[in-house]
Amino acid sequence: MSELQASVMLPVLDFSVPVCPSILASLVQACQEWGFFYVTSHGISKDLFSKVCSLSRHIFSLPQDSKLRIGPFSRLRTYTPPFIASPYFESLRVSGPDFFASSKSSADELFCQENSEFSEIMQEYGNKMSELSTRIIDVILMSFGDDYTDKFYDSEFGHCHGYLRLVNYSPPKNVEEKEVEGLGMHTDMSCITIVYQDGIGGLQMRSKEGEWTDICPCEDALIVNIGDLMQAWSNGKLRSSEHRVVLKQSMNRLSLAFFWCFENEKVIVAPDEIVGEGIPRIYKPFVCLDYMKFRESNEEGKFDIIGYTVKDFAGLKL
């Protein structure tokens, strides 16, 4: 595993080289210490990122009235306007597995004319991200043991699904403060999240010891966060990354976050082999959807802002 230039040296899963034991060992270490790593040679072209970004910028530049047609009080509820997650954050959700249908239903409300380009590009991006997620889960399972992919992939991760969140941050212009919080500290309610950020930067990760570090934008590298569902499924062996977005410049910032999740009805329980002999279980079994509802119904947990996490929901008092 090589290392990318960042404020601290962080590991990289490079798909152009065969996965070997030393790569797996540093991956585990990164997931325990930080809950995230970079992935390179992922097979997604720069051209596709730039098309997704330019279509997203176009959508976010539409008048607020148009965007609110798919806002929190609409039938679709795919658009989250500013002042919900933060004053500077707005997002659009595209759900899989049919990314085309999901983006088309939002586009039909947003645009007066037929606009199939957006749906076609979202379909391509969503499918590529789903495929990449399965490859990453495969490597994560390998890091637990040689035959763990065969043992657990189909039965545990075979029904995962993904959704995409396009995010636009518009920091205030000409203010005294040097930086503002674009998105508060939170953990993701996913197994893994794959994040693309544009060149502005601002994503920060918190180490186990509570230290914040800047995750600088790095061309060709995507960021993979471990989410709460994977933390519970691994009995805490993998740490759900605590992260936030800090806006340091008065320039708009765009990010694309792809969440890979268990099916709603799945009962999440760490397999015995993952827990290990003599190690206590730290979570009770829970239904995936019940956790999502718990987070959504708590003011502090709303919109992924940390407050209540999987530990509060299913943690066992040892």
Is 218 one of the binding residues for ligand AKG (CB under 6 A)? no
Q: Does residue 90 touch ligand AKG according to CB under 6 A?
A: no
CB 240 within 8 Å of CB 35: yes
| Residues 105 and 124: beta-carbon distance below 8 Å | no
Using CB under 6 A as the binding rule, the residues of this chain from 136 to 165 that contact ligand AKG are 165
> Which of Fe ion, ligand AKG, none is residue 167 near (CB under 5 to 8 Å by kind)?
ligand AKG
Q: Which one, 126 or 235, has the nearer CB to ligand AKG? A: 126
Residue with the CB atom nearest Fe ion in the bound state: 188
The structure tokens 């996965």 sit at: 19
Measured from the CB atom, the residue of 102 and 197 that comes closer to ligand AKG is 197
Q: How far is the CB of 273 from Fe ion (least distance, A)?
A: 29
- Cis bond before residue 81 (omega within 30° of 0): no
Q: How far is the CB of 122 from ligand AKG (least distance, A)?
A: 16
Q: How far apart are CA 312 and CA 307, in angstroms?
A: 9
Residues 221-260 within binding reach of ligand AKG (CB under 6 A) = 243, 245, 255, 257
Looking at the chain, how many residues does it have? Answer: 318
Tally the C-alpha atoms within 13 A of residue 234's C-alpha that lie toward its C-beta.
25
Residues in contact with Fe ion by CB under 5 A are: 188
Is the distance from CB of 191 to CB of 230 less than 8 angstroms?
Answer: yes
Token pair belonging to 270: 């760490």
Q: Is 268 helix (H, G, I), strand (E, B) or coil?
A: strand
**Judged by CB, which is closer to Fe ion: 44, or 256?**
256
Task: Give the interface with ligand AKG as residue ranges (CB under 6 A).
Answer: 165, 167, 183, 188, 195, 197, 203, 243, 245, 255, 257, 304
